[in-house]
A and B are shown apart, each in its own frame.
Chain A
Amino acid sequence: MRTLLIVAALALAVAGCAPDTAAPARAAERFHEAVSAHREDAACSMLTRKTAEKLPDPGQTCAEALREVKLGPGGAVTAVSVWGEAAQVRLAGDTLFLHRFSDGWRIKAAGCRPVRDLPYDCEVED
């Protein structure tokens, strides 16, 4: 009986925890607001460390590289998926992938287009 309860608890622990979809959605919107307002430094501070490091070419800052990418407008949130520490936020004009850190959600990839049976092709990624 005890084992049954543990198994049920395991299933509930995984299935029952409703993920917080609002926080990654807000992070994605804030990122696009910063890009649209040409506050690239602020937008860069919302990227994961790995993504921010990979984005610029040699001799370039993250903000300069982000300006060159010319991300389109994000638009309204249409769907959010959160699994563990990872999230995908779909905006009307973009799809973003995020990762949760101790200080909140950060952008791992943005400007992403789906590729059939393969990972998304992203303008900004780690």
Chain B
Amino acid sequence: MRWLKENSLALAFLIMFFLALGGQALAGMLDYNDRQLAEGAEPVSFAHYVASSSFAVDVAENWQSEYLQFFLFIVMTVWLVQKGSPESKKVDEAGAESEEQQRIGPYAGPDSPRWARAKGPRLWLFSNSLGLVMGTIFLLSWLAQSVAGQASYNSDRLGDLRDPVSWSSYVTSPDFWDRSLQNWQSELLAVLSMVVLSIYLRQRGSPESKPVGTPHAATGVQG
């Protein structure tokens, strides 16, 4: 029971993720089959749909943008600050910070992760591991979007009696960039909203907000 409480945030999001993904698959299949019937084709099974390029591109285009959002947020907040925002460091703390502030090398404590006590490439790798993993997942998801997107796009093109296109043509096509940019703009707007609204607005008890009574100008304070 204690384990459940200690991990409730991750578990709640994991459950919501699978419910949303399942819902997307079901709604996507119904929409896909609706179009299949209109075009004189046969409806497909649930298993067939979730293995299709149509489902894969819809999933991947959203994943890449979410990981891009977190990658940018993690990396840009090292150097860029926003006065008054709990999402930002204090204005004069911009940068990678000292070894002492980061508790690395000689300043690592007995409870620090082993790689925080290491030197050279291992320390660099661990020091940037969150951004690197988020950035890598973004690139892989974007690659998956391009591969699945080409397959889905070409299937539609053949249905419209047009020639299919190569991968290199697809990644410079309006379809690929429309899918990418429509997701990016919404993610960037969401981050902008979070950074700016959290200067003036509060959510009592949330670590994403400043404590309710904290002045608007206070930066880097979390509840």
> Which bracket fits the contact residues of A?
20 to 34
Chain B contact residues, majority secondary structure: helix
Does B5 belong to the interface (CB within 8 Å)? no
Check if B56 sits within 8 Å of A86, measured CB to CB: no
B152 cross-chain contacts in A, Cβ below 8 A: 84
Instruction: For chain A, residues 14 to 53, give those with C-beta under 8 angstroms from any C-beta of chain B.
Output: 14-15, 48-50
**B183: min CB distance to chain A, Å:** 15
Check if B162 sits within 8 Å of A101, measured CB to CB: no
Does A114 belong to the interface (CB within 8 Å)? yes
**A113: min CB distance to chain B, Å:** 11
Check if B140 sits within 8 Å of A99, measured CB to CB: no
Closest to A82 in B: B158
Q: How far is the CA of A83 from the CA of B157 in the complex (A)?
A: 9
Decide yes or no: A83 and B164 within 8 Å by CB, A10-B56, A10-B148, A99-B159 being known contacts: yes
Give which listed residue, B59, B137, B158, B161, contacts A81 with CB less than 8 A: B158
Which A residues fall within an 8 A CB radius of B?
3-4, 7-8, 10-11, 13-15, 48-50, 81, 83-88, 97, 99, 101-102, 108-109, 112, 114, 118-120, 122, 125-126
In addition to A86-B158, A122-B161, 9 A-B residue pairs with Cβ atoms within 8 Å of each other are A4-B137, A11-B140, A81-B154, A86-B155, A87-B158, A88-B158, A101-B41, A119-B160, A126-B40
